[in-house]
Amino acid sequence: AQSVTQLDSQVPVFEEAPVELRCNYSSSVSVYLFWYVQYPNQGLQLLLKYLSGSTLVKGINGFEAEFNKSQTSFHLRKPSVHISDTAEYFCAVSAISGAGSYQLTFGKGTKLSVIP
């Protein structure tokens, strides 16, 4: 079974500073990787995804993530954050399970607080 670890539960950062939210996963098979963002009182929405090809993927709102197979990581980065980026961010891994169907596993989330 796969697992997802988001190493930081909370990340405070000053406005216009860069940020990296870390995500590591474990899986014995090939994976698809996702980052979702949840704003207060809303559902999760897709930020970006890695399915195949280039290991650097770009998403909405200036975010990007890099898939590193050897490190089993998929860290999320933004060079300059804005107040509106304050939200909770979830990393998710999709991999085929022993039963032959795909299973999606979410990390526990990282709360990003942007300080003016």
Instruction: Decide if residue 106 touches another protein (CB under 8 A).
Output: yes
Name the segment binding another protein (CB under 8 A); options: 13-21, 45-53, 60-68, 70-78: 45-53
Asked if 18 contacts 114 with a C-beta cutoff of 8 angstroms, the reply is no
Residues with Cβ < 8 Å from 41, sequence gap 6 or more?
Answer: none
Phi and psi at 62, nearest 5°, equal: 80, 5
Q: Which is nearer to another protein, 100 or 116 (CB)?
A: 100
Instruction: Decide if residue 54 touches another protein (CB under 8 A).
Output: no
Q: Whole-number minimum distance, CB 108 to another protein, in Å?
A: 5
For residues 93 and 87, give the distance between their C-alpha atoms in angstroms, rounded to a whole number.
Answer: 20
CA separation (Å) from 23 to 78, 89, 98? 14, 10, 23
Instruction: Decide if residue 45 touches another protein (CB under 8 A).
Output: yes
Which residue of 13, 21, 23, 44 would you call a contact of another protein, by CB under 8 A? 44
Rule CB under 8 A: which residues touch another protein?
32, 34, 36, 41-46, 49, 51, 90, 94-96, 101-102, 104, 106, 108-109
